[in-house]
Structure 1
Amino acid sequence: MDFFRALGFLTILPCPRLESTPEDLGRSSGWFPLVGALLGALLAAGHAGLAVLLPPPAAAAFAAVLWAFLTRGLHLDGLADTFDGIGGGYCRESRLAIMKDSRLGTFGGIAVASALVLKISLLAGTGRTAALQALFLAPVLGRWAILFALRFFPSARPGGMGDLFRKGCTSGCLFTGTAAAVLLAAAAGGVPGILLLPLVPLSALLFSWWLASLLGGLTGDSYGAVCELSEILSLCLFAALR
């Protein structure tokens, strides 16, 4: 049941729809990397088919569009709100207020555009086999990174939905998600996958610490930003070691 909660929350893929509280979703977070594996498998399959018909830049662009579509742009939206708040606010309260505003600002637009451009260019510049590995593994590691942000940093809005979600993510969830991520990275990622196992948690913790220092904690948007940046880091390493 928790797997389907995670799948329904993180993607638009068809699955049984369950009534879920924020705490329920937090308890389902141990399944996030496996949801990432399903998402990655679909992206890799789509890219493999498109690469037969299209040049690498076009295939990479379609893969990035599919990536955003399958996730409803959930984490891209969090990235945009986070950078709108950081770029437009001058104190904790003003940053959090901007992040609650549903409108897209300049900094958020730049962040989303940058994320998409980086994903497309990194995929296009990676060899075909490595690109498929990267597409499979990046969603796994991005959702694994969220677990570190959930477990080790306080909520910027105590008592809110994000705080309840965070409290549902137990040490057991982190252990389960880590076991899945390690096995998938070792089995499917080759040398880049192994190297990313320490790099992803470290970058997630450092980025989360920086956000928490500005916001007094993390929000749901922060988790999306952590995911996006961890995915880009994963693609960067595969491209560098292609």
Structure 2
Amino acid sequence: MRSREWQAFWLSIGFLTRIPMLVRIDYSQKLMNQCSMYFPLVGLLLGALYAGLFTLLSLAWSPLACVLLVMCFHLFITGAFHEDGLADSVDALGGGYTVEKRLEIMKDSRIGTYGTVALVMALGLKAALLMDTQSIWLALLLVPAISRVTPLLLMAFMPYVTDPDKSKSKPVAEAFSRRRLMVSCAFTALIALVFSFWLPGLWLAALTAIITVALLWGWYLQRQLGGYTGDALGASVVFCELVLLLGV
């Protein structure tokens, strides 16, 4: 049991990042389902890298330059995984007039006008909001962990829609355990409460961001698609990051 959870943890790292998996993985769809519980923990590890890199870079450059360099590192180490989901989702929902057409656009690897504008605005707003926080390094540490709870809520309470044979996220989406969701939420709540001593209002901003994005984005996806897709999960992370940064 302990070995399987260790594998699930490393599988979640391999799924969300470009970091090589250092353990042998006995891959199965069940293990892929289990690994989603560790998304907030992977976010916290990524946040530690971002915060450490920002602190190191700040010895030589201005805060703005450091924030932009850290964001470049983020896009590299995650393969722009969630940002790609944002661009594909906005392209599909903005340019498709039927559910079938929207799903078809999401599968297209090309990026359109809607996706380009959304991506540029999201990255620019993220940089601006980070510059406005009381503690940039602390925001870089915590935001990646907290924002990765939102896709777990969507997976737990909404149906999955898309072509199952062409989707990378299908193994994660199927049979997601609400019990494991509660563990992830408890872990994230503990993080928010502990660090509220250094970043006042963090717990309230975190709760507001997670619930607001899950409800509004989930409602919109239900209307437009009848459920969620892998790209929509990625977009939810970006949306939650921005709302959370607005709050803090």
Say whether residues 1:166 and 2:173 are aligned partners: yes
- One of 13, 30, 35 as aligned partner of 1:7: 13
- One of 20, 41, 59 as aligned partner of 2:27: 20
Change in Cα spacing, 1:184 to 1:126, as seen in structure 2 (3 Å) is same
> Bigger shift: 176-185 or 193-202?
193-202
- Aligned-residue Cα RMSD (Å) equals 1.7
Q: In the alignment, which residue of structure 2 is the partner of 1:29?
A: 36
Say whether residues 1:228 and 2:238 are aligned partners: yes
Amino acid of the structure 2 residue aligned with 1:149? L
1:214-233 residue CA offsets vs partner (Å, 9 max, x unmatched): 01111000100001111111
Task: Report if aligned partners of 1:148, 1:205 keep a CA contact under 8 Å in 2.
Answer: no
Q: In the alignment, which residue of structure 1 is the partner of 2:139?
A: 134
Aligned pairs for 1:83-102 within 5 A: 83-102=90-109
Question: Which sections of structure 2, spanning at least 5 residues, go unmatched?
Answer: 1-6
Q: Distance in 2 between matches of 1:102 and 1:150?
A: 23
Q: Distance in 2 between matches of 1:147 and 1:168?
A: 12
Q: In the alignment, which residue of structure 2 is the partner of 1:157?
A: 162
- One of 48, 52, 71 as aligned partner of 1:64: 71
Instruction: Report the CA distance between 1:26 and its aligned residue.
Output: 2.1
Q: Distance in 2 between matches of 1:82 and 1:20?
A: 28
Say whether residues 1:180 and 2:187 are aligned partners: yes
Task: Report if aligned partners of 2:222, 2:228 keep a CA contact under 8 Å in 1.
Answer: yes
Aligned pairs for 1:43-62 within 5 A: 43-62=50-69
Q: Distance in 1 between matches of 2:14 and 2:174?
A: 20
Name the count of aligned residue pairs: 236
Q: In the alignment, which residue of structure 2 is the partner of 1:39?
A: 46
Q: Distance in 2 between matches of 1:86 and 1:9?
A: 25
Question: Which sections of structure 1, spanning at least 5 residues, go unmatched?
Answer: none
1:147-204 residue CA offsets vs partner (Å, 9 max, x unmatched): 1011011112375544442223201220111111011111124323211342133122
Task: Report if aligned partners of 1:28, 1:169 keep a CA contact under 8 Å in 2.
Answer: no
Aligned pairs for 1:189-208 within 5 A: 189=196, 190-203=199-212, 204-208=214-218
Q: Distance in 2 between matches of 1:138 and 1:28?
A: 20
2:123 is paired with a residue whose SS is helix
Change in Cα spacing, 1:154 to 1:93, as seen in structure 2 (3 Å) is same
Q: In the alignment, which residue of structure 2 is the partner of 1:106?
A: 113
1:168 is paired with a residue whose SS is coil
Q: Distance in 1 between matches of 2:79 and 2:195?
A: 26
Q: Which has more helix, going by share of residues?
A: 1
1:191 is paired with a residue whose SS is coil
Instruction: Report the CA distance between 1:21 and its aligned residue.
Output: 4.0
Q: Distance in 2 between matches of 1:221 and 1:23?
A: 21
Task: Report if aligned partners of 1:10, 1:74 keep a CA contact under 8 Å in 2.
Answer: yes
Identity %: 35
Say whether residues 1:147 and 2:152 are aligned partners: yes
Amino acid of the structure 2 residue aligned with 1:208? G
Task: Report if aligned partners of 2:91, 2:114 keep a CA contact under 8 Å in 1.
Answer: yes
Task: Report if aligned partners of 1:134, 1:234 keep a CA contact under 8 Å in 2.
Answer: no
Q: With structure 1 as the length reference, what TM-score do the two structures score?
A: 0.91
Q: Distance in 2 between matches of 1:233 and 1:82?
A: 18
